[in-house]
Amino acid sequence: MPWSATEVRLAQRPTGYPDDSTWEIATREVPDPDDGQIVVQVEYISIDPAMRGWLNDVRSYVPPVKIGAVMRAFGAGTVVSSQHPDFTEGDKVTGLFGVRDFALSSGKGVEKVEADAVSLPTHLGALGMPGMTAYFGLFEIGRPEPTDTVLVSAAAGAVGSVVVQLAKARGCRVIGVAGGPEKCVWLRELGCDEVIDHREGNLTKQVRAAAPDGVNVYFDNVGGDMLDAALANLAVGARIVICGAISAYNAEQLPEGPRRYMSLLVFRASMSGFVVTDYEARYLEAVTEIMRMISDGSLQARETVRTGGVAAFPEALLDIYRGTNTGKLVLKV
């Protein structure tokens, strides 16, 4: 039996924030799978800050989403039909299924997941790309020592909240930055030694007060003023991990860069970017470690589940830039 899939396609490239003209919501017949194919019923769609970048027609670490194509997205769901030797009906899976409720797939990049102990949204969060990003960004680029002070921005987000907890487990002093009292309370629960509410006044002064001896590792998810505040408060030999710059993703013009970058010289520091898929061959190591920490209670995986189905995707995407989520933002189909 074929399925009728609802999907969100890119209608035109946005300038600034995406709006109604950016998207087209359409339906498509999904046929029965051919040999080597599966059909997945998508139950959760991952909403990621990086999505905005995928809409720009520029050279980057992945090609841009094409006009007319289904919006790229990770998702989690159930195999509802399989002609693929590795999958059977009922398997719980994650993969790049796009923003739609039924997806035909060759199985490439599709992972079977254990959905009894850990929920599907967690497989898109702490055990998914955000968790991998946290793990390899922190340990491979940030390289924290147990005596280090680690500063994390967007610390109540999908990546940041895992970074905070991995750094605490490593023995570091951890400073989490988030917006609003609710997130800040959660950051204390996660073990942050200091919490900065970026809505509460001068960032540079707040970082200085929280890290009087300087920051050894800054895990940057936001860019903008926060990056400058960190640069102004480095310790000698500091490492800045450039993971994202959510403050800039919807800017209509390329925003100003970090004015205080010459702090890199003064503090003999480095600022490095990375792309998580470069570490794909080692994902199992990270999944195993994060799973172990979830199991023994030393890592909290939290998700904000938005309802409304596929058609709610355009609003859900704006939510991530508004910072309304705590932990991983997923859209329930």
Integer Rg of the chain from CA: 20
Q: How far is the CB of 259 from a second copy (least distance, A)?
A: 4
Tell me the two tokens of residue 308: 């409304």
Q: How far is the CB of 120 from a second copy (least distance, A)?
A: 28
Query: Is residue 256 near a second copy by the rule CB under 8 A?
Result: yes
Distance CA 329, CA 178 (A): 15
Query: Is residue 269 near a second copy by the rule CB under 8 A?
Result: yes
Q: How far is the CB of 126 from a second copy (least distance, A)?
A: 22
Residue 174 per-residue DSSP state: E
Angle value at C-alpha 291, between 286 and 294, nearest 5 degrees: 130
Query: Is residue 223 near a second copy by the rule CB under 8 A?
Result: yes
Task: State which of positions 230-249 bind a second copy (CB under 8 A).
Answer: 242-245, 248
Residues β-bridged to residue 24: 9
Angle value at C-alpha 121, between 115 and 172, nearest 5 degrees: 105
Question: For the purposes of burial, counting CB atoms within 10 Å of the CB of 140, is it exposed (0-12), middle (13-18) or buried (19 or more)?
Answer: middle
Distance CA 175, CA 227 (A): 14
DSSP 292-325: HHHHTTSS---EEEE-S-GGGHHHHHHHHHHT--
Query: Is residue 218 near a second copy by the rule CB under 8 A?
Result: no
Tell me the two tokens of residue 331: 């859209």
Q: How far is the CB of 263 from a second copy (least distance, A)?
A: 8
Q: How far is the CB of 141 from a second copy (least distance, A)?
A: 9
Distance CA 20, CA 22 (A): 5
| Stretch of residues binding a second copy (CB under 8 A), selected from 184-192, 260-268, 299-307, 319-327 | 260-268
| Stretch of residues binding a second copy (CB under 8 A), selected from 39-47, 74-82, 117-125, 269-277 | 269-277
Query: Is residue 254 near a second copy by the rule CB under 8 A?
Result: yes
Task: Determine which residue in the list 30, 155, 187, 271 makes contact with a second copy, applying CB under 8 A.
Answer: 271
Query: Is residue 209 near a second copy by the rule CB under 8 A?
Result: no
Query: Is residue 228 near a second copy by the rule CB under 8 A?
Result: yes
Distance CA 303, CA 298 (A): 17
Distance CA 219, CA 174 (A): 11
Query: Is residue 265 near a second copy by the rule CB under 8 A?
Result: yes
How many residues of this chain bind a second copy (CB under 8 A)?
Answer: 33
CA 220 to chain centre: 12
Query: Is residue 264 near a second copy by the rule CB under 8 A?
Result: yes
Query: Is residue 284 near a second copy by the rule CB under 8 A?
Result: no
Query: Is residue 263 near a second copy by the rule CB under 8 A?
Result: yes
Task: Determine which residue in the list 19, 189, 278, 315 makes contact with a second copy, applying CB under 8 A.
Answer: 278
Q: How far is the CB of 114 from a second copy (least distance, A)?
A: 31
Query: Residue numbers of the site for a second copy (CB under 8 A)?
Result: 59-61, 223, 228, 242-245, 248, 254-275, 278
